[in-house]
Amino acid sequence: MSRTADPAAAVMDLPRRDAPDKLAGRTRYTVDMAGPGTLHAAIRRADIPRGRIIRVESGVARQMPGVRAIVTAQDAPGTHGIGISDHPLFAGKEIRYNGEPIAAVAADTLEQARAAAAAIIVEVEALPPVLTMAEALSPSAPLVHEGWKDYGVLFEGGARKGNIAWEAKVVRGDTDAAFARPDVTIVEGCYEVGRQSHMPFEPRAAIATFEDGRLHLVTSTQVPWTVRAVTSSLLGIPSSQVRITVPPVGAGFGLKFDCTIEPVAALLAWKTGRRVSLANSRQEEMATCLCRENAQIRIRSAVTTEGEIVGREATVLMDCGAYGGEQIFLTTMTAHTLGSNYRLGSVRLSTRAIYTNTPPNGAFRACNGVYNTFALERHTDEICAAIGMDPVEFRRRAVFRDGSIGSTGQVFEGEVLVPMIERMEALKQKSGSREAEAGGRLYGRATTVGSWFVFVGPSAATVNLNADGSATLVTSGVEIGSGTMVQALPQIVAGQLGIRPQDVVVKAADTDAAGYDVGVGGGRTTVSLGAASVKACEDVLSKLLPVAAEMLQTSQDNLVLGKGRIEIAGRKGSGATIASVAQRAQALHGPVTGSGSFTGQGVPSMAGCAMGHFINAIDIPIFAVHDCEVAVDPDTGHVEILSYKVVQDVGRALNPRAIHGQIQGGVVQGLGYALHEDVTIDAKGRIAQDSFETYRIPLAQDVVPVEFELFEGAPSIGPLGVKGAGEVPILNVGAAVACAVANATGKPVSRLPLTPPRVLGLLVSDEPPLDHPHIGKDWSSNVIALPQSVRAG
């Protein structure tokens, strides 16, 4: 072994270096950093879902005690967005959702800021809102964005029309021919899910100052570079004049994958020349949460008696709320979450992001995948019932094998899902059934599959090998709780350089110090920052090893790194410490530094299959198999989880203990989604849940220990063969619980969450199956326009 470090050197249960401080309350999150002398900001928000702003008068408010500045749309007239630039910082002429910012105040105290915000006179003309996707798609619906045609499109290719903010399509093969075959059973189902609120303990918060003429934002974000770009654009200053630093983040789960309140704090700091702190109250955080979107799905499949899926058509409606945001990008994901797990002879998919006058939605752990997996797996069990096949046997036959083709024509390599199903079957066998614990209640069980993926995107890393033999890793990575920055990355760097992970200093994100990064999310962090770090280490070694070879009078190929030393292979103790080589290198050539960059090289797909997709093929597929046993109380509709099992495709498990933490935490978040996390929109377009009391997230007594097995060795372009492990554990929880409840009750489970009233409703009523009249049964009625060639086919 020389330059190519043994990947196993990076595998260990490294403890978190941030744990002692976090356990002692010493960690300073953004919300802990305001301190004395800082101005506090408050936002005046709309209290209607749709209307025209006639007048905003802040003169009286400006004269109130302690008030230092007030800003409105006039101070930041631009727009931002992902895919479409449709989102202003403040509502100027139009209000598009209840809770939309109209103005913001900076004052000496938070109470003064809030009082002044409330005193701003806002005169509006209320207009009838569009609150549901069904309303938004009706031909007579008002347009949420009357000027949609004039918006800047930041990414070409998506079809758009009126309240359809974006449409992504997949067309591969001839589904008409498949559905016309005489030997197939046709199964059709409709599914629906509500929103999920992230509820991170630290709300979105930012502190802004101007230092030497440049803006410095300390913020609780997952995407420092997005905040840098959006804030500079809205303030009309060069992005090089904005510095973003990120302390430990009190959880994100995707909520902090967009720029939100940072430009408001920045504007107020600019106006006052003072340090300004802005943090959402819990009520504001929930009212404006960029939730996992509510969605409605129709799927139709043509299946042979042998379990071959010869044709599938699906339409997915995603509510983006008042602005396109993340949902524009997320329409891409259906191709993979509905189309990269079962082998499909032919497929047509339409995914539409729909504007409504409701709070904008955003990204949430395994975005889009969680509900598409729910819909797909319920649909799969309905197929099994229709053709009379055991659900596990059907999945064995129908899931991806080595060489299977995804919906967009991407070729998937390796036998992964089938052996994972077998691992799950063995785990079920080993653990036995908990049916006896159901007592007099209805018992059910289900095993589900799911597919997720890592979109790697660009990352940069710098490694300084210090003369004392330690290393400093500089990236734009953020520690949001998942452990990447305190476990995976120092483990990778230590393994590459042959030093101890505790001797790898990891610098917190600072856009003045580190290169560009897409952000922490989607399971990409360990993969992309890890790959950039590996390259930076290779750069370090290319400078270090020639010096070592000269010092040790041997060739570079003979050198072995480990335990802080560079040895001559096969001659233990023959070498020198890495510190002494680093000192020698520093004396000869200057300090040893290395830089590394990474981005996905792209994966081929079939030309013409995918339309309106931000990516046509996926860099790293990730598969999961979940199994769940439930007991359903027929009198109350309460669902108890009796057992939960996970087999997860992790590539290589760098820190198995940390992955266990992600699996237990992710599954429990999924149980909340499946059973009781219920976001509803009231008649005024508000999110009705405004507290931990009204939005019920799992408590200690709601949960069970998750049994799990890590499936290693599946192909991955990730460094050392890793895949992201933190995103995917939530993926098929809704699916597994729903299928188990359907199994227990014999009823068609088509909606999440499965709250007791909903389950009771299923048990006692004979209502017809869920239907979405606004999603046409004819798939081609659910697309804006198809290329001529496809229409003709």
Q: Interface residues with other proteins (CB under 8 A)?
A: 13, 15-16, 18-29, 31-32, 35-36, 198-202, 248-251, 253, 281-282, 480-483, 657-658, 660-661, 664-669, 691-693, 697-701, 703-706
Is the Cβ of residue 239 or residue 281 nearer to other proteins in the bound state? 281
Please, which residue, 683 or 700, has the CB nearer to other proteins?
700
What is the total residue count of the chain? 793
Burial class (CB in 10 A: 0-12, 13-18, 19+), 36: exposed
Write the burial class of residue 702 (CB in 10 Å: 0-12 exposed, 13-18 middle, 19+ buried): middle
Give the 3-state secondary structure of residue 326: helix
No. of H helices and E strands in the chain? 20, 33
Q: To the nearest whole angstrom, how small is the minimum distance from the Cβ of residue 643 to other proteins?
A: 12
In the complex, least distance from residue 91 CB atom to other proteins, rounded to whole angstroms: 27
Instruction: From 614, 734, 613, 656, select the one nearest 488 (Cα to Cα).
Output: 656
Minimum CB separation of residue 658 from other proteins in Å reads: 6
If residue 380 lies in a helix (H) or strand (E), which one and from where to where?
A: helix 369-387
Smallest separation (angstroms) from other proteins to the CB of 245: 18
Angle at 238 between CA 236 and CA 241, to 5 degrees: 115
Nearest distance, CB of residue 41 and other proteins, angstroms: 15
Closest CA to 530 of 493, 505, 497, 555: 493
Q: Are strands 347-355 and 164-172 parallel, antiparallel or unpaired?
A: antiparallel
- In 58-161 the beta strands, taken as DSSP E runs, fall at 67-72, 79-80, 84-85, 87-88, 94-95, 101-107, 121-126, 152-153, 159-161
- Least gap, CB of 481 to other proteins (angstroms): 3
Give whichever of 596 and 753 is closer to other proteins, judged by the CB atom: 753
CA distance readout (Å), 731 to 372, 439, 625: 9, 29, 10
Nearest CB to other proteins, comparing residues 513 and 697: 697
DSSP reduced 3-state for 688: coil
202 vs 258 by CB, closer to other proteins = 202
Q: State the minimum distance, in angstroms, from the CB of residue 491 to other proteins.
A: 13
Give SS3 for 430: helix
Of 22 and 507, CB closest to other proteins: 22
In whole angstroms, give the CA distance from residue 21 to residue 365.
26
Q: Which is nearer to other proteins, 482 or 782 (CB)?
A: 482
Of 132 and 525, nearer to other proteins (C-beta) is 525
**Which CB sits closer to other proteins, 538 or 707?**
707
What are residue 149's phi and psi, to 5 degrees? -70, -25
Minimum distance between the CB of residue 256 and other proteins, rounded to whole angstroms? 11
The rounded distance, in Å, linking the Cα atoms of 774 and 134 is 6
Three-state SS letters, 243-302: EEECCCCCCCCCCCCCCCCHHHHHHHHHHHCCCEEEECCHHHHHHCCCCECCEEEEEEEE
Work out the angle between the directed axes of helices 733-745 and 656-675 (0-180°, nearest 10): 50
Produce one character per residue of 224-255: b if its CB has 16 or more CB atoms within 10 Å, e if not: bbbbbbbbbbbbebeeeebbbbbbbbbbbbbb
- Residue with smaller CB distance to other proteins, 130 or 494: 494
Q: Nearest distance from residue 197's CB to other proteins, in Å?
A: 10
CB of 703 to other proteins, least distance (A): 5
> If DSSP codes are grouped into helix, strand and coil, which group holds residue 482?
coil
Closer CB to other proteins, 623 or 708, in the complex: 708
State which residue, 619 or 677, has the beta carbon closest to other proteins: 677
- Of 29 and 516, nearer to other proteins (C-beta) is 29
**Please, which residue, 391 or 481, has the CB nearer to other proteins?**
481
589 alpha-carbon distance from chain centroid: 44
Min CB(730)–other proteins separation in Å: 10
Q: Least distance (Å) from other proteins to the CB of residue 404?
A: 33
CB closer to other proteins out of 701 and 765: 701
- CA angle, residues 448, 453, 457, in degrees to nearest 5: 170
- Decide: residue 397, CB within 10 A, 0-12 exposed, 13-18 middle, 19+ buried: middle
Nearer to other proteins (CB atom), residue 20 or residue 128: 20
- Is 527 in contact with 475 (CB distance < 8 Å)? no
Tokens 């189309």, residue?
339
What is the three-class DSSP state of 104?
strand
Q: How far is the CB of 641 from other proteins (least distance, A)?
A: 12
Distances (CA, A) of 567 to 7, 465, 498: 18, 18, 11
CB of 108 to other proteins, least distance (A): 13
Query: Which among 722, 727, 630 has a CA at the least distance from the CA of 292?
Result: 727
Least distance from other proteins to the Cβ atom of residue 203, Å: 8
Q: Provide the minimum distance between the beta carbon of 251 and other proteins in the complex, in angstroms, as a whole number.
A: 4
